[in-house]
Structure 1
Amino acid sequence: MAFNQELEAITQAFSGHGVDEKSLATILGKWDPVERETYRKNTSNFFVEDHERKFQKWNDHHVRLLKHEFVRFKNAVVLWSMHPWERDARLAKEALKKGPSSYNVLIEIACTRSSEELLGARKAYHSLFDHSIEEDVASHIHGIDRKLLVALVSAYRYEGSKVKDDTAKSEAKTLANAIKNDQKKPIIEDDEVIRILATRSKLHLQAISKHYKEISGKNLEEDLNDLRFKETVQCLCTPQVYFSKVLDASLKIDVDKNVKKSLTRVIITRADVDMKDIKTEYQKLYGVSLPQKIEETAKGNYKDFLLTLIARGG
């Protein structure tokens, strides 16, 4: 391989999700000092020239980003190896530390796990942090999202097959009225809406969603302006759509590290659950297969591990 081709290969190895360890080892390992200096001079996005002292130094911001990329594979393996209860407990704790930009993770855990799985996560949270999830959500979240999120993480939903259609129709009307009057009373403060979303079974909520469309002519999530309610309805009624959208956002090259981390989280937590359905939905929404998109975007051992996991469900 010519030196210019090697320069391009190394640049590509550092850009994306994860790093191409094989290229780094085979190319960087054989370069002499002059070749390494040439590389530094030709990659101004990675290195900054100190003209006064005549040397090239790493761009501190890029070093921080690279540290995250190098540990991406390790973090994925650690997360995959955890008991699901511990994994969800730790994900919830991290989401609370990061603040509003990560509150969707709390909604994922509360709304896409079974009642027993959510109860298990709450038990693990007790064990790990000597607090309850409910307690920490209530004490860490001070904005308008608190009431909904406390109710969601406290839930233990009925998971049987019985749905009272008349009740579902009535509650669809309740939601329609709440959405219509959102300007007078924000839906995030509507106790009746929160009760419905936090306590009803997923089958019941799907029936509500069907009746809502009959009443309004639109899907429920389309009419919800509040982001947390929209995420809640998607996670409860159409999780494959929700996770496909999260994955697509995480696979964009220029997103921040927290959005990129969603790729690991979603694939790890859904690999044994509904990955086949997510792959089907992703293809439908974006016209490309999820494995192909990961192949194009991710790098090295991290990419290989993700592809192995998403192949598990067929």
Structure 2
Amino acid sequence: MAFNQELEALTKAFSGHGVDEKSLVTILGKWDPLERESFRKNTPHSFIEDHERHFQRWDDHYVRLLKHEFVRFKNAVVLWTMHPWERDARLVKEALKKGPSAYGVLVEVACTRSSEELLGARKAYHSLFDHSIEEDVASHIHGIERKLLVALVSAYRYEGTKVKDETAKSEAKILSNAIKNVHKKPINEDDEVIRILATRSNKHLRAVYKHYKEIAGKNLDEDLDDLRFKETVQCLCTPQIYFSKVLNAALRIDVDKNTKKSLTRVIVTRADIDIKDIKTEYHNLYGVSLPQNIEEVARGNYKDFLLNLIARG
């Protein structure tokens, strides 16, 4: 392989989700000092030229990004081998540390796990951190989101098949009226809306979702401007669409490291549950298969591990 081809291959090895370890070993391992210098000079996004002292040094910001890419495979393996209760407890703790930009993870855990799974995560949280999820959510979150998020993580929903259609229709009207009157009373202060979303079963809420569209002519999540309420409705009523959108955002090359982490989180947590349905929905939404998109964007062992998890579905 000519040097220019090797340079292109090595640049590609560093430029995705994860790194291409095989290319690093086969190419970097045989380059002499002049070839390595040429690499530094030809990748200005990674190296800064010190013209006064005549050498090229790594860009500190890029090194920090690269560290995250090198550990992406390790983090995926560690997360996959965790007990699901511990995994969810640690995801919640990390989201609370990161702040409002990560609170969607709290919604995801609270609304896409079964009642027993969420209860298990709460037990694991006790064991790991000597606090309850509920008290930490209540004490760490001080904004308008607190009331909804505390209610969601405290839930223990009915999971049977019975749904009272008249009640679902009545609650769809409650939601419709709340959204129409949001200028009078913000949705995040409406106790009835929070009660419906935090206590009703998934089957019941899907019936509410259906009736809402009949009443309003639009899907409930489309009419909600508040991000947390929108995420809550999607996680409860259309989880495969929600996860497809999270994955698609995470697979963009230009996103920040926290958004990229969603790729690992979603595939690891859904591989044994509904990854097949997510793959179908992803293709319906974006016209490309999820494995194909991962093949194009991800690199090395990280890519292979994700594709293996998806294949389980």
Cross-structure match for 1:68: 68
In structure 2, give the amino acid aligned to 1:174: I
Aligned-residue offset at 1:146 = 0.2
Cross-structure match for 1:256: 256
In structure 1, give the amino acid aligned to 2:80: W
Structure 2 residue 79 is the aligned partner of structure 1 residue 79: yes
Structure 2 residue 202 is the aligned partner of structure 1 residue 202: yes
Q: Which moved more, 1:147-156 or 1:37-46?
A: 37-46
Structure 2 residue 224 is the aligned partner of structure 1 residue 224: yes
SS in 2 for 1:156: coil
SS in 2 for 1:225: coil
Aligned-residue offset at 1:296 = 0.3
In structure 1, give the amino acid aligned to 2:143: G
Cross-structure match for 2:172: 172
Whole-Å Cα distance in 1 between the matches of residues 308 and 208 of structure 2?
37
Aligned-residue offset at 1:242 = 0.1
Aligned-residue offset at 1:231 = 0.3
Cross-structure match for 1:312: 312
Q: Per-residue CA shift, 1:74-107, capped at 9, x if unaligned?
A: 0000000000000000000000000111000000
Whole-Å Cα distance in 1 between the matches of residues 207 and 56 of structure 2?
63
SS in 1 for 2:30: coil
Listed as ranges, the matches of 1:1-314 within 5 Å are: 1-313=1-313
SS in 2 for 1:273: coil
Whole-Å Cα distance in 1 between the matches of residues 39 and 237 of structure 2?
51
- Superposed CA RMSD in Å reads 0.4
Q: Per-residue CA shift, 1:193-213, capped at 9, x if unaligned?
A: 000000000000011111111
Q: Which runs of 4+ in 1 moved over 6 A?
A: none
In structure 2, give the amino acid aligned to 1:91: L
In structure 2, give the amino acid aligned to 1:135: E
Aligned-residue offset at 1:312 = 0.3
Q: Per-residue CA shift, 1:125-172, capped at 9, x if unaligned?
A: 000000000000000000000000000000000000000111111111
In structure 1, give the amino acid aligned to 2:188: I
In structure 1, give the amino acid aligned to 2:161: S
Whole-Å Cα distance in 2 between the matches of residues 312 and 35 of structure 1?
42
Whole-Å Cα distance in 2 between the matches of residues 49 and 229 of structure 1?
48
Aligned-residue offset at 1:304 = 0.1
SS in 2 for 1:52: coil
- Gaps (5+ residues) in structure 1? none
Whole-Å Cα distance in 2 between the matches of residues 131 and 280 of structure 1?
39
Whole-Å Cα distance in 2 between the matches of residues 171 and 34 of structure 1?
71
Aligned-residue offset at 1:244 = 0.0
Whole-Å Cα distance in 2 between the matches of residues 148 and 299 of structure 1?
38
TM-score of the superposed pair, with normalisation by structure 1: 0.99
Q: Per-residue CA shift, 1:36-73, capped at 9, x if unaligned?
A: 00110111000001111111000000000000000000
Whole-Å Cα distance in 2 between the matches of residues 291 and 305 of structure 1?
11
Q: Per-residue CA shift, 1:224-270, capped at 9, x if unaligned?
A: 11110000000000000000000000000000000000000000000
Identity across matched positions, percent:
84
The number of residues matched between the two structures is 313
Whole-Å Cα distance in 2 between the matches of residues 289 and 236 of structure 1?
24
SS in 1 for 2:312: coil
